[in-house]
Amino acid sequence: AEYMGSPLFCNTMLRAARALHAARRAVARASSSAAVLPTSASAVPRSPDRWQSHGRIIEVERIDANIFRSASVEALWRPGMGQGVYGGQLIGQALVAAHETIDDDWARVHTPSEMAAKAAAKGEAVVNSAHAYFLRPGSAAKPIVFRVERLLDGGSFNFRSVTGFQDGVPIFALKASFHRREEFPVRYQREMSAVPPPESLKSHTQLLEEALSHPKCTPEFRAKIEAAFARPIPLEIRPVDVTDLGLFSRPKAQEPRSRLWMRALGPIDGSPDVHRCIAAWASDWTISAVPLLHIGLRPYSPQLRLICSLDHSLWFHDDIDFNSWVLYEMSTNNLSGGRGVAHGRMYNQAGRLVMSVAQEALYRLRAQSPTPSTSASASS
């Protein structure tokens, strides 16, 4: 008791408090900076601009150990005819936030050589799947806050749960799995379709320009198309199965299948993790419209009142290079009850399947919209 009241004890406690305060400030500085997930077998902590590739569309900033925020509101993208922030951007940014929490505690307190030894012993954890739900429309005028829950850090797998908030209200939820790659002697995949090369096809931008000059282009359609030009998607897209946007023709039933080539408009720097998150961002593009092809409708069709993605799933099979052309094949198995399910496959130009996708969407038509009388099945 005498010691606890002595000057020596008080000075000791004061020094301890100062040391604790300095340590907390150091942790806070580390948490507010870009994270340091190893980017390759060399396991060197990444630089702060790791996720700034491609116009900052997937970049988030760390504001606490498990809390992240969209780094740039200006980079949040709302499609020209969309009602809220693009769903693929929610997926991409949530995946980045999840990536930031894989091995981050280890990376902050160990040297690059120690990180390299760990990577060599265990292998780098790579995202292998993600499953997302769109709960409410998100605003492209406000930052999105992402909260990450660390569900498991095992020897082979890491699991993360990410919830996106605006104004304190959850608008989005995602579960992601990360796997440390393993050797396996067998590989099988569904083969890529035979399609024309992207250089021989019109771009989505060219199709929009042709629609603007169409004699049946009304002021309402023109406003929608100009809105699309004002907020262009940061991808180069060349549809395989579409020769026009279906704005001015009556609905005509067709096989519910869509194939398109896509790649980044500008060069993407960074590790394969960045390209996987960009691919996740791109995977939401038009897949929700594929079931509507059975009744002859497309995203720009005037008969369509509402199209809304409900959930979205991804499985990553291999590294993806979005600086090169990627073929996105989409088809559907069902359209009923105002909902449709579409499936997608992404291939690189060599024909290797790099990612699989599934999505369910909600549809509402305008009153007295003409639809085909048939309900026959179509093969994919």
Give residue-wise pLDDT tens across range 83-128: 789 999 999 999 999 999 997 755 555 565 665 566 556 678 999 9
Q: Report the candidate in 286, 316, 273 with the shortest Cα–Cα distance to residue 59.
A: 273
101: CB partners within 8 A, 6+ apart: 35, 65, 66, 148, 150, 160
pLDDT at 14 over 50: no
| Residue 288 one-letter amino acid | S
DSSP state of 34: -
Above pLDDT 90, what percent of the chain?
51
The full DSSP string for 282-310 is HTTSSGGGGGGGGGT--TT-TTEEEEEEE
Strand partners, 332: 342
333-339 average pLDDT score: 94
pLDDT of residue 370: 52
Cβ contact 378:255 at 8 Å:
yes
User: Looking at the chain, how many residues does it have?
Assistant: 380
Q: Provide CB contacts within 8 A for 322, sequence distance 6+.
A: 262, 263, 264, 268, 275, 278, 279, 282
**Residue 98 backbone phi and psi in degrees, to 5:** -65, -45
pLDDT at 48 (0 to 100): 37
Give the span between the Cα atoms of 290 and 296, in whole angstroms.
10
> Could you give phi then psi for residue 25, rounded to 5 degrees?
-65, -40
Is the per-residue pLDDT at 252 higher than 80?
no
As a whole number of angstroms, the distance between CA 97 and CA 95 comes to 5
